[in-house]
Amino acid sequence: MYEKIPAGFFTAFDRQNSLLYNADDYEERKLSDLQGCFVAEEIRHQMALQENKTVYRVYKKTAPLVAGELLQAVTVLFPGTVNGEFFMTRGHYHIHPKCAEIFFCLGGRGLLLLQKGNETKWVEMKPDVIAYIPAGWGHRTVNTSLAGPLVFIAFWPAVAGQNYQRRLKEPFGKRVFQADRSYVIGDGD
């Protein structure tokens, strides 16, 4: 990757292909990667053995992992459910306790769940919403529409780091289920 960021470089949201132009890192998460995320764990497991759908893709632009630099990534979270519970990201906390993050919604409908201790908050995501994730809060996104993907771009400090284990001890307190043409927020683990 870089030792330092080249001056004047740019990225762009490629709306037609729903990806980050000029990204240099890519991640794809399938149902098989989301063990323990959904209430219906056995059903997720069976779905993973059969079709193993892609749940989300992340297109990232890297930077030197040092104080002062910023990272960015576009997430495309596909529509779907596991036994009526909407597709979601794994969710994580930052390793560095003093790093916030910003999500800018580019398309679709969803919820950003925020977790700290026993406290859960959420923000409705729809195009043009800019959601702020204060330092110390775990964050997970949920696509609440079966009509299409939830797409958003995230910006966060390069030194933040991602902790995926902490959600096992400090789990997201709310779950989001399909209800008629909308969603209902239920209690978590």
The helix/strand/coil state of 182 is strand
Residue count (the chain)? 189
Residue closer to ligand 6PG by CB (options 47, 71) is 71
With residues binned 3-state (H G I as helix, E B as strand, rest as coil), the percentages for the chain, rounded to 5, are 10, 45, 45
92 binds ligand 6PG (CB under 6 A): yes
For the chain, the distance separating the N- and C-terminal CA atoms, rounded to the nearest angstrom, is: 39
Distance CA 51, CA 129 (A): 33
Alpha carbon distance 9, 1 (integer Å) = 14
Question: If binding is defined by CB under 6 A, does position 75 make contact with ligand 6PG?
Answer: yes
100 to 129: interface string for ligand 6PG, x by CB under 6 A: -x----------------------------
The residue (of 115 and 141) whose beta carbon lies closer to ligand 6PG is 141
Tell me which residue has tokens 């910006």. Answer: 155
Task: Using alpha carbons only, give the angle 61, 164, 66 rounded to the nearest 5 degrees.
Answer: 40
In this chain, which of 37, 82, 154, 176 binds ligand 6PG, going by CB under 6 A?
A: 154
Between 47 and 99, whose beta carbon lies closer to ligand 6PG? 99
Applying CB under 6 A, does 89 fall inside the site for ligand 6PG? Answer: yes
Could you give the CA distance from residue 28 to residue 159 in angstroms, rounded to a whole number?
23
Among 122, 156, 172, 183, binds ligand 6PG (CB under 6 A): 156
Q: Which residues contact 33 (CB under 8 A, 6 or more apart)?
A: 55, 90
| Per-position x/- string for 9-38, each x denoting binding to ligand 6PG as judged by CB under 6 A, each - no binding | ------------------------------
Q: Choose, by CB under 6 A, the member of 79, 91, 107, 149 that binds ligand 6PG.
A: 91
List of residues contacting ligand 6PG (CB under 6 A): 58, 73, 75, 89-92, 101, 141, 154, 156, 162
